[in-house]
Structures are given as structure tokens and as C-alpha cells.
Amino acid sequence: MQEYQYLSGFGSHFTSEDARFPNALPEGQNSPQKCPYGLYAEQLSGSAFTAPRTENTRSWLYRIRPSVVHQPFKRFEGVASFLRGTGWDEQHPNPNQMRWNPFDLPVEGKNVDFVAGLHTVCGAGDVRARHGLAVHVYLANSSMKDTAFYNSDGDMLIVPQQGPLDIMTEFGRLYVKPNEICVIPQGIRFSVALEGPSRGYILEVYDGHFHLPDLGPIGANGLANPRDFLTPTAHFEDRSVDGYRIISKFQGALFVATQGHSPFDVVAWHGNYVPYKYDLARFMVINSVSFDHCDPSIFTVLTCPSNRPGTAIADFVIFPPRWSVQEHTFRPPYYHRNCMSEFMGLIFGRYEAKEGGFLPGGASLHSMMTPHGPDHRCFEGASNAELKPEHIADGTQAFMFESSLSMAVTRWGEETCQKLDARYYECWQALEKHFHL
């Protein structure tokens, strides 16, 4: 189908035009005196004009009307549990290990779209200083109707857990299923259609954009391969609508403006500042084939680097099905205290280190220097298992948002959602003393 055609590659410079209007892209320049078909030229910049070429991101869009044609923005009320990014002090700090049972979907009979279903769980930093991140969940059951959303504060990495997302963007359509992810960069307008009750996770970063991690000694290939990232092709609609809503997240608050037409009227575009999706099943796992347990950094799909070399504002890490063959090794994740914050979610299946209480649609947070690791059952089983080649995590996809920033939990995350498991700590209490002479 036309609306689900894709271009392949990560960080590439693409060109695309809707097949219904060939030659809509200007030849040899970006902003001619008159664009083909009477279109308007509009540049969308994801970096400073003077950023080095390797970091410079921008796209040119050729649209029926420029995006400036709208009424003034006004405060948008009613999504209070999503207004985050300017301060994280509403709750007293809590260093305890935290685990959430699956977050509730909207009750039947109440229509909640993607924006109305956004809830902030935790985060750090300040959107006005362009430094930090936030972790959200979305809990929705209806499509956005004559409404588009864009985030002025940062990029959004979306991880569906239940239900596919049919996402219309200014660049074309993305169809994103559970076990796929998508990234909508800062400022790009999009609208989400649903096929039923839907739940998922969002990692929002303020500092910059997501990159593929460097491979170093791994070499030229492995982890997430650039060719597997898919960007939509141009697909526009020329539709007049009374009161079409444009919702903006700006400095941690939501605003709404109305206009008389759909914003998805881009007939052609070119550039390297684009939305994209990725199928997690295509991740090429790197792992130990001799002994010991590799650090989880080998499972990094995307990273948003900080100004400190080798240190991320946020890494998106997955734990997919793979072979485990290490000799004389405790194979599950080891006990650990960390200078990073670790937020984990489960898309489907059972996570190897905590098969009991960590459920799809739930989450956990292990804060800086808070100890964590396998529960009692996992430790005893792995310590006494026969070590033979074993395919682990079959039918499972767990992930982690890892950050160098110390994240605070919101009131919604700690109290309002009523999903925090107060007995999480008990999973370690049965660990025994095995010390002997």
C-alpha cells in the first residue's frame, strides 16, 4: 500500500515525493521563487545551522500550506499527569527499588486517545535548559480525530507493548507493532490511530537526537544495522477541517491551536531529519562464547550521548532471545550497583532474572547506586543448573531505558496510578548465606 512504503537507512539523506504528483521536488535548489504545483517550501531544522556536517540535521518540506497558518496557541488542560520537564520536586526522593504492575488501560466506554493517555512516570533535567529526559507510558483506546501532536521539548522514542500504532506524520505513514519501535524527532507533527486498547512506553530526550552506538572492537557489523531502520515515504492529504487541533508540548506544558486544514499536506520532502521505525527482531546480538557475563551495553539499540565521552543521557537497550553458552559462569544478570538509572519494561514474555512479578505492561526502576539483581529463585536455579548451550528469553522482549541522570518519580508514578508494588523488596529476602570454610 502507498501509505506504508518505506525508505531504508539510518541517518541517511532521503528524497521522497508522493507518486500522485511527480517532480514536486524542486530541481537543484531548496527554495525557488515558485515551487512546483504552487507548493510552499518550509525547512525543519533539528540542529543549529552551524552544527558540524556530521551532526547537522534538517529537512525541506514542500507543502500545500505552511505550518504557520493556525490560530494562537492556548493552554491545553486535562492531561495533568503528562506536564513534566521543568521540575521534578513534587515527590520526596525515594531510593528504593521500584516495580510497577501492568498499568491499567482505559475503562471500557471511556474514549482516551494517545495524547489524553500520556502519563509521566519519572525523569530528570529541565526542558528549558535542553538537558534531561523523561519516561512516560501511554494508555489509550481510541484514535486521534482531527488532531495532531508535536513535541517542542525533545525526541520521543515510542515502544508499543499492546496494540499497533498507525502513525501519520508530516513525512508519511508509519505502522508500528509491538516488538517494533519508532522515533519521532523534536517538532515533527504526528497523529496516532489505534485498532483497539493500546499500551506502551516512551523515552523522551531533551539534549539531542538518538544515534547508533559506536561499535569499536566489534567491527563494522552488529547490533542494530543501519539498513533496518525505515523512514516513511511522502503521503499527503489535502483536507479542509473546521477546528483541526494542533497540540504542542512546550516547556513541559501542553498548548492547543486550531486551524482549518490537515497539517499532513506535505507533497514532497528531502533531508536527514525524519521519523523512523525499527523491528527489534532484527537486532544482531553480540554475547560471550567462553565465560562470564557481558555488560548490558552490548544490547544497546540507540543512544542519546551526553557531553561526557562514553556516557549517555539515555540508552535504549533490549534483552532479546539468544543463545547462552558460557562455561563456569552464573549466566543471568549479576548483582549490581550502578552510577546510572535503569528503567525497565517488558513487551512480552518473562524476563530471565525475575520471572515472577515483572509482567508485560509493567515496569521497574533501579536508581543510582541502589542494589539490584536476580531474585532468590533465579539465583538458586542458575547457580545449580547444568551448564549446556541454552536458548534463553524465547518469546520474550524486555528493554531498558538507562540514563546517567538521577531520575525522580512523579506523583502519578508513585501514588496516583496505584500500580507500585510495595512488596517488590521481598523477592530478595530469601537469599541465603552460603559462606563456608
Show which residues are catalytic. 293
Give the residues across from 363 on adjacent strands: 100, 345
Cα–Cα distance measured from residue 423 to residue 131, given in angstroms and rounded to the nearest whole number: 34
User: Can you read off the three cell numbers belonging to residue 246?
Assistant: 494542533
CA distance between the termini of the chain: 69
Phi and psi of 15, rounded to 5°?
A: -130, 140
Closest CA to 154 of 205, 82, 102, 114: 205
Q: How far is 182 from 316, CA to CA, in rounded Å?
A: 12
For residue 238, count other CB atoms closer than 10 A to its CB: 12
Integer angstrom CA distances of residue 117 from 113, 139, 263, 294: 6, 5, 22, 37
224, 114, 231: which is closest to 174 by C-alpha? 231
Distance (Å, rounded) from C-alpha 138 to C-alpha 30?
38
Pairing, β 240-250 against β 147-151? parallel
Measure the CA–CA gap between 382 and 140, rounded to whole angstroms: 39
- Secondary structure of residue 263 in the 3-state scheme: coil
CA dist list (Å): 89 to 59, 123, 413: 37, 11, 13
372 among annotated binding-site residues: yes
Other CB atoms within 10 A of residue 321 CB: 15
Q: Are 61 and 189 in contact (CB under 8 A)?
A: no
For residue 351, say whether it is annotated as part of any ligand binding site: yes
- Name the residue among 98, 241, 69, 66 with its Cα closest to residue 170: 66
Question: What's the burial of 126, exposed, middle or buried (CB within 10 Å: 0-12/13-18/19+)?
Answer: middle
What secondary structure, in 3-state letters, does 417-436 show?
CCCECCCHHHHHCCCCCCCC
Please give the annotated binding residues for Fe cation, written as ranges: 336, 342, 372
Please give the annotated binding residues for homogentisate, written as ranges: 351, 372
Please give the annotated binding residues, written as ranges: 336, 342, 351, 372
